[in-house]
Amino acid sequence: MPDIFHQYGSDLAIGPGGDLAQAAASLLGQQRVLRRLLTNPGDYLWNPSYGAGLAQFVGQPASASRIRSVIRSQIFQEAAVARKPEPVIDVQAVPDGSVIVQLRYADSASGQTQVLSFSVGES
């Protein structure tokens, strides 16, 4: 079932018919995974435990294993992420204090590999 298209950190988009754009299937799953990883716990009023809060790692001494652990625990809470094959989570600390993440997982509905790459840090 489609939902409103919303890329984290961006405005809502207009669809081809002039209404709000929609996202479905793997694109919707990607948006939900990204939203979960970048939302701080406590920021979502209706579910205070929702979110990984990856921004908390910016400027801190890099602990790639801890960041991977947080990501892994959160992505499995999204129905779009299949448990098998095991997701691959690459974390790289950048000298400016930001963190670059590349996440590869199988979409639970289609089985197709999904790739999300993003950075968390000061812009």
Instruction: Work out the burial of residue 21: count CB atoms within 10 Å of its CB; fewer than 13 is exposed, 13-18 middle, 19 or more buried.
Output: middle
Q: Is the dihedral of CA 42, 48, 51, 56 positive or negative?
A: positive
pLDDT in tens, 92-122: 888 877 788 999 999 998 999 999 998 887 5
Looking at residue 20, what is its pLDDT? 58
User: pLDDT under 50 in the chain at which residues?
Assistant: 123
Domain extent at residue 113: 3-120
- The whole-number pLDDT of residue 113 equals 95
Residue 103 sits in a domain of what CATH number?
3.10.450.40
Residue 104: Cβ within 10 Å count: 15
Domain count, the chain: 1
Whole-number pLDDT of residue 11: 59
pLDDT of residue 119: 85
